[in-house]
């Protein structure tokens, strides 16, 4: 059976995970999987159905009928609708930490994520990839960046996408989400013991991508070169 590789990238909001994961997956020709988008799509589904993401019974009611997908370009679909931009808006961001904390929700998402990693070489980003989803990943990165650096990045990103926001609001949102994400009961945001800590506050996107690719090549060494030559 063909050897599949996995790179796990975890860390708090706007630390640069998805930018790095996308870039790395392009260079290595791996599938990029944005696990945050799965939780965001479920949160949006609850909102659209008039349910309250803060209520577990509402989440359990909708979980069986939930269907989403991601394509290789990073587009996110809720049923057949493209919700890529919608799931990143402030109302969804404010509620996602609640909807994603329920055990049954996490179990369903983790199952989907593991199935994808079994069939493909993947770069997966999220919060619990190195600790829970793919504990045997070939390389685990735990990315951090200062709140200021992260808020500024998200602000510029929103401006570019035409999503209205203020820098102060974003800083508050990030701090709040960091707090909920690191204090919840199921799979809180923590660094896996064997994850490499990467502070991206002062790093450009290019530096971030190159660092991860070179760490991966070093880590898997000869076995990676063998696979490359057989292509
Ligand atoms: O991009 P950003 O870091 O703002 O968020 P995201 O990666 O899209 O994740 C959105 C939310 O989903 C996070 O605040 C986490 O609460 C949750 N999440 C999670 O619980 N587990 C994951 N593997 C990924 C995201
Ligand atoms: O996935 P996560 O929420 O961790 O962060 P992201 O969406 O990859 O990055 C948030 C924003 O920061 C994006 O607009 C990136 O372009 C930007 N960024 C940056 O300016 N410098 C970096 N080293 C990494 C990301």
pLDDT tens, position by position, 95-134: 999 999 999 999 999 999 999 999 999 999 999 999 999 9
Nearest CA residue ID for atom 4, ligand 1: 13
Q: How far is the CA of 95 from the centre of ligand 2 (A)?
A: 21
Locate the DSSP E strands across the chain. Answer: 6-10, 31-34, 68-70, 76-78, 81-82, 122-126, 139-144, 196-199
pLDDT band at 1 (very low <50, low <70, confident <90, very high): low
pLDDT-wise least confident of 97-111, 179-193, 197-211: 179-193
The finding on whether 170 has its CB within 6 A of some atom of ligand 2 is: no
| Class of residue 186 by CB neighbours under 10 A (exposed 0-12, middle 13-18, buried 19+) | middle
Among the atoms of ligand 1, which is closest to the Cα of residue 187? 20
| 72 vs 53: CA distance, rounded Å | 28
Nearest ligand, measured from the Cα of 34: 1
Distance (Å, whole) CA 142 – CA 133: 14
Ligand nearest to the CA of 36: 1
Q: The tokens of 3 are what?
A: 């050897």
- What pLDDT shows up at residue 228? 58
Q: Which atom of ligand 2 lies nearest, measured to the CA of 34?
A: 1
pLDDT at 177: 86
Residue 102 DSSP SS3: coil
pLDDT band at 2 (very low <50, low <70, confident <90, very high): confident
Task: Give the residue whose CA is nearest to atom 12 of ligand 2.
Answer: 153
Whether 203 lines ligand 2, by a CB cut-off of 6 Å, is: yes
Give the Å distance between the CA of 38 and the centre of ligand 1. Answer: 9
Measure the CA–CA gap between 190 and 220, rounded to whole angstroms.
24
Cβ of 17 below 6 Å from ligand 2: yes
Q: Taking a C-beta distance cutoff of 8 angstroms, is the pair 149, 11 a contact?
A: no
200 C-alpha vs ligand 2 centroid, how far in Å?
9
From start to end of 11-83, where are the E strands? 31-34, 68-70, 76-78, 81-82
Which residue, chain included where needed, has tokens 């609640």? 98
pLDDT in tens, 51-84: 999 999 999 999 999 999 888 778 899 999 999 9
Q: Which residue has the higher pLDDT, 80 or 186?
A: 80
Question: In angstroms, rounded to a whole number, what is the distance separating the alpha carbons of residues 186 and 209?
Answer: 30
Pairing state of beta strands 76-78 and 68-70?
A: antiparallel
**CB-based contacts of 70, cutoff 8 Å, min separation 6:** 33, 34, 37, 38, 76, 77
- Minimum-distance ligand to the CA of 134? 1
Distance from C-alpha of 169 to C-alpha of 18, rounded to nearest angstrom: 22
Ligand 1, CB cutoff 6 Å, lining residues: 13-14, 35-37, 39-40, 96-97, 100, 126-128, 177, 181
How far away, in angstroms, is 131 Cα from ligand 2 center? 22
Question: What's the whole-model pTM score?
Answer: 0.90
Give the distance (Å) from ligand 2 centre to CA of residue 154: 7
């Amino acid at each position: 059976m063909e050897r599949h590789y996995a790179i796990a990238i975890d860390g708090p909001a706007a630390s640069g995970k998805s930018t790095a994961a996308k870039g790395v997956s392009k260079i290595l020709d791996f599938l990029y999987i944005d696990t945050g988008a799965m939780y965001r799509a479920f949160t949006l589904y609850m909102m659209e159905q008039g349910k309250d993401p803060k209520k577990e019974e509402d989440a359990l009611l909708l979980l069986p009928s939930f269907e989403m997908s991601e394509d290789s370009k990073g587009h996110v679909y809720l049923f057949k609708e493209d919700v890529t931009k919608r799931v990143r808006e402030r109302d969804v961001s404010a509620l996602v930490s609640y909807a994603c904390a329920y055990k049954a929700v996490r179990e369903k998402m983790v199952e989907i994520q593991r199935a994808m990693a079994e069939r493909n070489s993947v770069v997966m980003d999220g919060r619990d990839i190195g600790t829970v989803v793919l504990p045997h990943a070939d390389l685990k990165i735990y990315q951090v960046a200062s709140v200021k650096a992260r808020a500024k990045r998200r602000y510029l990103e929103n401006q570019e996408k035409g999503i209205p926001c203020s820098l102060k609001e974003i800083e508050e949102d990030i701090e709040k989400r960091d707090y909920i994400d690191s204090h919840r009961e199921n799979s809180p945001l923590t660094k896996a013991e064997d994850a490499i800590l990467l502070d991206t506050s002062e790093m450009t996107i290019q530096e971030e991508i190159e660092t991860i690719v070179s760490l991966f090549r070093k880590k898997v060494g000869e076995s990676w070169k063998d696979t490359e030559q057989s292509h």
